[in-house]
Each structure stands twice: as C-alpha cells, then as structure tokens.
Amino acid sequence: MSEPVLSVGVLISGSGSNLQALIDRIADGSVPARIALVISNRADAFGLQRARLAGIPTRVIDHREFPDRVSFDRTMIAALQESGVELVCLAGFMRVLTADFIRAFEGRLLNIHPALLPAFPGLHVQQRAIDAGARFSGATVHFVTEEVDAGPIVIQAVVPILDHDDAQTLAARILKQEHRIYPLAVLWFAQGRLQIVRQRVQIRETIEAPDAYLLNPSAPDTY
Ligand code: GAR
C-alpha cells in the first residue's frame, strides 16, 4: 500500500525557487505530498507561474487590499482551510504573520530562512553575516512560532562565507542548500517523524554524526 499523501499549502512572495524544489521532489516521487494551493501576496511573483505550469491552484491575496494584518491573514486562513491543507510552508513569504494565523496552523507551519538561526533573523541577512565576519552561514527550516524567524529547528545546512563573497553570491550558495533541505523537512513531516519536545525538534530514525565538523578556512591535520 502506498503512503498517504500530505496536502500542503505554500505561501510565496517572489521567485518561488523553494516552491519549485518542492514541486520537483514531489514529481519525482521523493516526497509523498501534493500541493493543494499556492498563495502569493504579490500578483507579479514568478512563483505563481511555476505553480500554474505544474497545474497547482493559485490565489493572489494582496495584503494592500486589506485594512490590517488580521483581516489579510483571516482571508489566507480561510483559503488554506478550504483547500484542506495539513501543512503550510512559507517559502520566501515576506509578510509577518499574526498570532491568529500561527495558532490556526500551530505545529504544522514551516518556514525557511537564509541564515543559521538564531543568528541573523530578519532582513538582509546575507550582507549582515558578511559584515559580521562570520566564516559560515547557511539555511534553517523551522516550525513557526509567534516570534519572527524563531521556533523549533528541523534542519540546517551550513555553507562557507568566502573572501570574495557579496550578498548575491552568498545568497546563491545558501539557496542551493535550501532546495535540498526544505523538501527533506516536508518529507519528514509527511512521514510523521517530527516531534517538538521542549522547543527542540526530535526526528525519529535520523543518523547523528557526533564527530562531524567543518573548518573555514580549511586547516591541515598537523601544523
Ligand atoms: C529564500 O532565500 C528564503 O530563505 C528567503 O527568501 C528567499 C526566497 O527565495 N526567506 C526569507 O528571508 C524569510 N525570512 P525563493 O522565492 O526563490 O524560494
């Protein structure tokens, strides 16, 4: 018998490359899910074209047409509930969500952020990581709580920050890893392997590597 298929809603504001990564991993059978609805707060988001090309229903819900965040979020909640989504993925969705929204999908709301949280929440995070002189940055998939860019972490990918990096080159390096880890987090959710215990995510049947480490710059074994 095949695994039951998880119904997912995806919220975007822009390019939608993370949405595409999820579409691709679903299409090749890696992730047992279907995307029931893509919502964008911007009519010109390229991600809408990606969704339409994949035959996924889309809605544009423009935040500027609502008097406040609460009414905007209520409209999104209703649309997602009507579509029967069991998991909501924020994928480059650049609006702060209300407590109403977060409570409506508590424990089934994921976000991806292009930094190693809890370092560098917020905006312009690649430039801020470079300016801080950090040797590594990366991407974080986490459950969403009421604090912005915070919440129990599912998976992180680490990438080096190189001497010649600017915000664009670093963002591209991070994005490549985002496309690997977000579908994986959705797979684990679909398999029911994620459990939040005291603000930490426990993932059943994963392999830990206690001796794993990264150095940047790399160093010889003896020196
Ligand atoms: C991604 O880098 C994502 O991590 C980031 O926006 C980009 C969206 O790219 N999200 C945030 O900064 C949220 N705080 P995409 O539209 O190509 O998936």
Classify domain 6-194 at the CATH topology level.
Answer: Rossmann fold (3.40.50)
With a CB cutoff of 8 Å and minimum separation 6, the contacts of 30 are 183, 187
Query: Does ligand 1 have an atom closer than 6 angstroms to the CB of 183?
Result: no
> pLDDT at residue 2 above 90?
no
Report how far ligand 1's centroid is from the alpha carbon of 219 (Å). 32
> pLDDT at residue 144 above 70?
yes
Q: Are 1 and 80 in contact (CB under 8 A)?
A: no
> What average pLDDT score do residues 48-55 get?
98
- Element holding 143 (H helix, E strand): strand 136-143
Pocket test for ligand 1, best of 94, 112, 159 (most atoms within 8 A of CB): 112
Query: Does ligand 1 have an atom closer than 6 angstroms to the CB of 14?
Result: yes
- Element holding 154 (H helix, E strand): strand 153-160
pLDDT at 3: 66
With a CB cutoff of 8 Å and minimum separation 6, the contacts of 207 are none
Burial of 112 (C-beta count, 10 Å sphere; 0-12/13-18/19+): buried
What is the value of pTM for the model shown?
0.97
Query: Does ligand 1 have an atom closer than 6 angstroms to the CB of 138?
Result: no
Query: Does ligand 1 have an atom closer than 6 angstroms to the CB of 73?
Result: no
Q: Where are the domains of the chain?
A: 6-194
